[in-house]
Structure 1
Amino acid sequence: MSWFKRKDKGIQTPTEAKKEAPDGLWTKTPSGKIVHTRELKSNSYVSPEDGYHVRIGSAEYFEILFDNNKFTELDENMESADPLKFVDTKAYPDRIKSTQKKSELKDAVRTAYGKMNGLEITIACMDFGFIGGSMGSVVGEKIARAIDHSLQNKKPFLMISKSGGARMMEAGLSLMQMAKTSAKLALLSEAKIPYISLLTDPTTGGVTASYAMLGDFNIAEPGALIGFAGPRVIRETIGKDLPKGFQSAEFVLDHGFLDFIVDRRNLKSKLTTLLKMLK
């Protein structure tokens, strides 16, 4: 039975000395492809094997778009209040504080200005990690002020949307942001200052029904979920089965709601080319 015995033991590491691999070193895509985080970052957070666009936030988009990741942030300390006393408790303020601590963000959007391939630009980018990227009064106000910055300095404005929709804890105040941001964008249009809307995964609800679809150019990332209501609500409303993938960026493009889809790896160069053409 000598073949049952291991003669050359080689390296034997005691169990207590073994170390677990740190979390976050690898990312698995929906198709099952596994990619190292370092490789993913160097590839603009797109899986090189299947082209899957991993969800990222404002920090990553700013790094991708602004030259040398240099920018000036606008209204970085603006925070949500609780004017409606949601459910007459401290639940909403506590949720805001805990989310701020966990995400290291003040709210669901960050706005900044800087240069993109040498071109001056103002960018507003939503963060899904902050209460699902929900649109509250702070989100609307920061976007409105970013548009004002573009107006005053005659800079193009880029809006990167990623949201589950309006923030229910602010009720009517949240819905008012749809009108406020749309009115500001109308001023941008009158001044003939370019506005590009980038829809990423997911862009839904009141965000889709307002500034996300009002761009001079509406563009999206591949595979992004874009829609207003959920599939179940739509199915119950119209009483019909829905086509497969009807809320994907590709489907929306085919039906005329988008101008084009752009791979994140080419986003900076595509935006620069488009803005130079408009200029």
Structure 2
Amino acid sequence: MSWLTEYVRPKVRGLLRREVPDNLWTNCPSCHQMVLVKELERTLNVCPHCGFHMKVPVAERLKWTFDADSYTRIDLPKVAADPLGFRDHKRYADRLKDARAKTQLDDSIAVAHGKIMGYPAVVAVMAYEFMSGTMGTGFGEGFIAAARLAILQRAPLIVFTASGGARMQEGVMSLMQMPRTTVAIEMLKEAGLPYIVVLTDPTTGGVSASFAMLGDVQIAEPKALIGFAGPRVIEDTVREKLPEGFQRSEYLLEHGMLDMVVERKNLRATLGRLVGLLTAAPPGDVFTSTLPDPEEPGSETPLPTT
């Protein structure tokens, strides 16, 4: 080989080669277009090509929902790490350990309290990044903690759903969280507190069959998949072609399952307006002048236990 091949060509290639970060681009799961990550940060994780609302990490969801620097996360109750000693090709305890290390979350829910457009509120966010947002005993305890906090503060509870359903590694204990969360919602209703649900993509399984469909107001983000079983499972079962857009937000709104479909950029303002209407309280009020006193006789309801 000549000196041109051995020396000059590598030097030239080195000058022309540029290091490109691995996380510079991402694919839209709906239209499959390449999108700059910085562009997604500007659009609140909404695809600029097709308007699809992508999944959102817990920290971002809380930041976009509450007023700036106005919220506080709470610690959630601890539960048994592996109640059934479950194992498939990997131990459930190891899966939990990996998920907690990756997400910095204890389970598939985070709870915070603060102000939305000046109104006090308690917000619970399902973390899809934690084992696909599945519902286990840890989630159930977190949901009940959110309901307790809302009743204590005389504030509405807002829940953002994003889940693949019950957590199979906890078996029937996971399914028991469906009635437990339902009882917690009944406590809110008896206390006269608003319960608002925001359904995001995807909301499926036992979550959609319980607390996700029990809101005083049902909101969804555009094009979100909402249902119990997936479309392909239903088609294979009934052996019929499903309607276009079946189980998407717009279809459910048209058929009376939702109250409104709201774009992500308008969610905070919409939630603030709803809280104001449902409580008839001025911004900054703690609702004690407009809602029943929790200390009144007969107003207390025992919390569900495992």
Scaled by the length of structure 1, what TM-score is found? 0.89
Task: State the 1:125 CA deviation.
Answer: 0.4
Q: Is the 8 A contact 1:80 1:107 kept in 2?
A: no
SS in 1 for 2:124: strand
SS in 2 for 1:148: helix
- Identity across the alignment (%): 43
Q: Is the 8 A contact 2:166 2:175 kept in 1?
A: yes
Residue equivalent to 2:301: none
Higher mean C-alpha deviation, range 150-159 or range 41-50? 41-50
Deviation per CA, 1:71-111, whole angstroms, max 9, x where unpaired?
Answer: 22122574651111114997000111011112222211111
Task: State the 1:32 CA deviation.
Answer: 4.4
Residue equivalent to 2:208: 208
Residue equivalent to 1:84: 84
Residue equivalent to 1:275: 275
Task: State the 1:18 CA deviation.
Answer: 2.7
Residue equivalent to 1:7: none
Task: State the 1:38 CA deviation.
Answer: 2.2
Task: State the 1:117 CA deviation.
Answer: 1.6
Q: Distance in 1 between matches of 2:176 and 2:39?
A: 42
Q: Is the 8 A contact 2:77 2:138 kept in 1?
A: no
Q: Distance in 1 between matches of 2:256 and 2:80?
A: 36
Q: Distance in 2 between matches of 1:243 and 1:278?
A: 35
Relative contact order higher in (CA < 8 Å, ≥ 6 apart)? 2
Aligned residues, how many?
268
Q: Distance in 2 between matches of 1:278 and 1:63?
A: 23
SS in 2 for 1:15: helix
SS in 2 for 1:110: strand
Residue equivalent to 2:142: 142
| Matches for 1:236-255 after TM superposition, within 5 Å | 236-255=236-255
Residue equivalent to 1:197: 197
Q: Is the 8 A contact 1:77 1:106 kept in 2?
A: no
Deviation per CA, 1:222-259, whole angstroms, max 9, x where unpaired?
Answer: 01000101223323443433212211111111111111
The letter for the 2-side match of 1:177 is: Q
Higher mean C-alpha deviation, range 237-246 or range 257-266? 237-246
Q: Is the 8 A contact 1:79 1:107 kept in 2?
A: no
Q: Distance in 1 between matches of 2:272 and 2:215?
A: 16
Cα gap change, 1:178 to 1:49, in 2 (>3 Å): same
SS in 2 for 1:145: helix
| Matches for 1:97-116 after TM superposition, within 5 Å | 97-116=97-116
Cα gap change, 1:114 to 1:155, in 2 (>3 Å): same
Scaled by the length of structure 2, what TM-score is found? 0.82
Cα gap change, 1:67 to 1:242, in 2 (>3 Å): same
Residue equivalent to 1:24: 23
Higher mean C-alpha deviation, range 71-80 or range 109-118? 71-80
Cα gap change, 1:115 to 1:80, in 2 (>3 Å): farther
Deviation per CA, 1:161-197, whole angstroms, max 9, x where unpaired?
Answer: 0000000000011000000000010111111111110
Q: Distance in 2 between matches of 1:144 and 1:90?
A: 30
The letter for the 1-side match of 2:213 is: M
Q: Is the 8 A contact 2:76 2:141 kept in 1?
A: no
Q: Distance in 1 between matches of 2:36 and 2:63?
A: 19
Cα gap change, 1:237 to 1:90, in 2 (>3 Å): closer
The letter for the 2-side match of 1:266 is: N
Residue equivalent to 1:14: 13
Cα gap change, 1:13 to 1:92, in 2 (>3 Å): same
The letter for the 2-side match of 1:85 is: G
RMSD, matched Cα: 2.0
Cα gap change, 1:237 to 1:71, in 2 (>3 Å): same
Q: Distance in 1 between matches of 2:255 and 2:88?
A: 44
* 5+ long unaligned stretches in structure 2: 1-10, 280-306
Q: Distance in 2 between matches of 1:241 and 1:271?
A: 36
Q: Distance in 2 between matches of 1:200 and 1:158?
A: 13
| Matches for 1:256-271 after TM superposition, within 5 Å | 256-271=256-271
Residue equivalent to 2:299: none
Deviation per CA, 1:34-90, whole angstroms, max 9, x where unpaired?
Answer: 433223212222233432212112111111011214422122574651111114997
